[in-house]
Amino acid sequence: MQAEFETELSDDIVLKSITDYKGFTKVASLDVDASPVEVFTYMADASTDTLSQEINLSYDGGDLNLVGGLYYLYIDNDTLQGLPFASDGVLKGAFGLGPNDPGLDFTTEVGLVTNSYSIYGQLDYDLSPQIRFVLGSRVVREEKDFDFAQNTYLNLDESRIEADPFQLLGPVPQPPGTTPFSAKFADTLWLGKAQLEFRPDDGYLFYAGVNRGVKSGNVNGPLADGSQIQADQLIYDPEVLWSYEAGFKVEGFQGDLRANGSVYYYDYKDYQAFTFVNVSGFITNEQAKVVGAELELIATPFDGLTAVVSGAYSDSKIKDLQFAPGLTKDVESVFSPKYQASYLLRYDIPLSSGELGLQADGSYTGKRWSNLRNFQAHRLDDFFLQNFRVSWEDDSQTWLLSAFVTNVFDKRYNVERFDLGTLCGCTDESFGQPRWIGASVRYSF
């Protein structure tokens, strides 16, 4: 639900207000072991309410443009998640339960209330007809109220995660002071941006800039999976990113050829690194650096034909990650392939009071890691996907008919992999969509 209000205070000053409310509920269940018998099940039940209010003033003065404002965000989250052991589960006996006894739920209970207050401003100033300077900053105050517990309950309803106080058996054993755990904490953060833009002629833009970004500190709420969590692991610090980027956007041949490119260097302090262990994980603060480049070429050599080619390179390093007690190593970030590339060819042909579109596109994704510890079992292979599409749309854009084939070569590829070797000697894998053939009809009115 959103409400917006805007009014012109003068010819070049605009006042704007944006109010937004969202309520969100999530229920999830996953058969962790994926075996014919009941061993492990993951279940979660979460609800989140958010309210935000923004008020800003903008000024358009030709060579000088200004915007500034205030922003407030409220988030109230309650999450239950855990590992229910059903009454017919094969591991129930390991907890001293008989065949006629109910199952058990090991439930993690997390409550987090966030109040965030911001003030921000940015100016865009034309130093000359060709040169623009951009300077902006934001100050954020975040206050959080955190409650955490891991408890054991009788499982009387196997369709949901249990948190009924009448079924409470007691806390899950953890180091002293860990659970139940409550804390109030706050951070004052600042963000900044400085960028120089150079436009020597129409169709040419060169830019270079530095940005300071932040990601607020937050909390861990791991599962009761046997990991001996410590109280100082439950809250992690804000992440600070200094990013340096330079690039260009150029057009040539009357707009028939366009090129966009950039190079960047990211320097993280207290990088929020997620490490998956057992059946859950922790976020810890580490030091990280990323170097990368991107290039895109768009060509329309003659009427109806569009060709797009793009590529990206990224090299990440997270320093001295502890991957086992007393052991550290440098690792690469997860789901961040070193090489990516894509292409698109589309030819539009006038046909029967409409336009026929013939399209081929493909994408390559390089090897990447599914777990920050970078064990070989976490390595996901590279893959290439090829797609075809044929469409026809009438001149009034009322009817659109299309047929398509995605993943033409029926490539089998991983999109996710959870290493559960320490828990059940197994691995959970998710695969991308296989070859898919389809057609669609759209009518617009």
Query: Which of 199, 178, 179 has the alpha carbon at shortest distance from 132?
Result: 199
Query: pLDDT at position 255, please?
Result: 77
Query: pLDDT at position 135, please?
Result: 98
**Alpha carbon distance 108, 101 (integer Å):** 22
Q: Is 435 helix (H, G, I), strand (E, B) or coil?
A: coil
For residue 128, what are the contacts with CB-CB under 8 A and spacing of at least 6?
none
Residue 219 tokens, joined: 């909390």
Condensed to tens digits (0 to 9), the pLDDT of residues 188-232 reads: 999 999 999 999 998 999 999 999 999 999 999 888 877 777 788
Condensed to tens digits (0 to 9), the pLDDT of residues 287-338 reads: 999 999 999 999 999 899 999 999 999 999 999 988 777 888 999 999 999 9
**Alpha carbon distance 402, 441 (integer Å):** 7
Query: pLDDT at position 167, please?
Result: 84
pLDDT of 28 strictly over 80: yes
Question: How far is residue 4 CA from its own chain's centroid?
Answer: 27
DSSP H or E segment with residue 254: none
Query: pLDDT at position 230, please?
Result: 79
Mean pLDDT of the chain: 90
Residue 417 tokens, joined: 């992999």
Query: pLDDT at position 38, please?
Result: 72
Q: Is 231 helix (H, G, I), strand (E, B) or coil?
A: helix
CA angle 279, 229, 85 (to 5 degrees): 40
Identify the residue with better confidence: 318 or 172.
318
For residue 314, what are the contacts with CB-CB under 8 A and spacing of at least 6?
290, 291, 292, 336, 337, 338, 340
Query: pLDDT at position 90, please?
Result: 67
> Among 16-20, 71-75, 79-83, where is mean pLDDT lowest?
79-83
pLDDT of 175 strictly over 70: no
Burial class (CB in 10 A: 0-12, 13-18, 19+), 258: middle
Query: pLDDT at position 96, please?
Result: 65
Question: Look-up: residue for tokens 């510890």?
Answer: 373
Identify the residue with better confidence: 326 or 67.
67
pLDDT band with cut points at 50, 70 and 90 for residue 95: low
pLDDT band with cut points at 50, 70 and 90 for residue 432: very high
Condensed to tens digits (0 to 9), the pLDDT of residues 125-141 reads: 999 999 999 999 999 99
Residue 383 tokens, joined: 């893959």
Which of 98-107, 330-339, 418-427 has the highest mean predicted lDDT (pLDDT)?
330-339
Rg of the chain in Å (alpha carbons): 27
CA 363 → CA 196, 357, 379, distances in Å? 33, 20, 19
Query: pLDDT at position 225, please?
Result: 78
Mean pLDDT to the nearest integer, 61-77: 96
pTM (two decimals): 0.87
Q: Are 344 and 307 in contact (CB under 8 A)?
A: yes
> Among 92-101, 173-182, 350-359, where is mean pLDDT lowest?
92-101
Question: Look-up: residue for tokens 């979660």?
Answer: 44
Query: pLDDT at position 222, please?
Result: 86
Query: pLDDT at position 93, please?
Result: 63
Query: pLDDT at position 92, please?
Result: 64
pLDDT of 388 strictly over 90: yes
Q: So where are the chain's domains?
A: 1-186
Residues in a beta bridge with 246: 208, 263
Question: Look-up: residue for tokens 């990224």?
Answer: 314
Residue 223 tokens, joined: 């599962």
- Cα distance from N-terminal residue to C-terminal residue, the chain: 25
Query: pLDDT at position 307, please?
Result: 97
**Alpha carbon distance 26, 47 (integer Å):** 6
Q: What percent of the chain has pLDDT over 90?
A: 66
**Alpha carbon distance 386, 29 (integer Å):** 33
pLDDT band with cut points at 50, 70 and 90 for residue 366: very high
Cα Dmax for the chain: 82
